[in-house]
Amino acid sequence: MRLASDGKVVVLAARTVEALEEVRQQIQAGGNGGVAEVRACDVGNSEALTALIEEVASTHGRLDIMVNNAGITRDGLILRMSDKDFDEVINVNLRSAFVASRAAARPMMRNRFGRIINIGSVTGLMGNPGQANYAAAKAGLVGLTKTIAKELGSKGITANVIAPGFVDSDMTANLPQELKDGAAKMIPARRFGTAEEIAHAVSFVASDLASYVTGQVIVVDGGLDM
């Protein structure tokens, strides 16, 4: 919604489109001329994800911004974590970002402009008990992003990581209140962040204002990572 309000044509993609359709309608009804489209796609399926990106670039004649925001959790202590739980998280949270970035790089290079934005996590910088798979995926995003920045920087393409801390979201809504209260006490800001605060950071690195910002991890966590 933030990128649409910035004047971008937004294509929303997820496995199920019901929630995305609601967002699309909110964007279209916003009164600021926002345009949004919805596509069904399992980002864990490399062929489908590549085809989606190629179709969007072909339909619109260009692809300027790629936000890799898909994420799942399969939490468990490392002694109890199965290979399947590890691999599923790596596939969705890390491999999909690689596949999407590879596909997006081609139309971005043709236009000599691009913004690749990977949504990481402070967990990838700090580690977190019970999240070896999630932390590994988010840490991997940092190395992937820095490499993309070095490979594609001369083509007018930037790549950055936005690393949120605790954010009020569907993922944290189911945490026990006691756990959320304890987490808030660890944050210098003494609260969870909001989706809007993460969106502000995404909007900045997607803009022309950030044309000289690349290969960076921008932490938006209320000070948790200090």
What is the set of active-site residues?
134
Of the candidates 217, 210, 87, which has an alpha carbon nearest to the alpha carbon of residue 141? 217
- The C-alpha angle 184, 188, 190, rounded to 5 degrees, equals 35
Of the candidates 197, 77, 50, 196, which has an alpha carbon nearest to the alpha carbon of residue 134? 77
Residues 75, 82: Cα–Cα separation, whole Å: 10
Of the candidates 13, 16, 20, which has an alpha carbon nearest to the alpha carbon of residue 53? 13
Residues 98, 129: Cα–Cα separation, whole Å: 26
